[in-house]
Amino acid sequence: MSRRYRHRIRPIKVDPENPWQFHVGQSVYVWGFDQEFTFTIAEQLRLGRLDFPHYVITGINGDQWTVPQLHLSREQIAPRK
């Protein structure tokens, strides 16, 4: 095993009572969408068997999508190389 990989990233601690990383009204970037545009958080939802955090986001033209928290960022999302 290579020594350069022995350090691990610390896991993010998630409070099950308050798992939200974003709030209603906040502007965010969304994975899979053009990074020149931001979306506004309209609603927080807990979906799935594990009540995982999801958000209803609104685009500049008023269209809405429901996306998981993992697809959102406060900063532009750069494509992997």
pLDDT score of 34: 93
Q: How far apart are CA 41 and CA 25, in angstroms?
A: 5
The residue whose two tokens read 């974003």 is 22
**80 inside domain:** no
**22 inside domain:** yes
pLDDT score of 59: 96
What are the residue ranges in the chain where pLDDT is below 50?
1
Task: Kindly report the backbone phi and psi dihedral angles of residue 56, in degrees, each rounded to the nearest multiple of 5, phi listed first.
Answer: -90, 120
Number of domains in the chain: 1
pLDDT score of 50: 84
List the CATH number of the domain containing 68: 2.30.30
**81 inside domain:** no
pLDDT score of 4: 58
pLDDT score of 80: 78
**79 inside domain:** no
**7 inside domain:** yes
The single-letter code of the amino acid at 10 is R
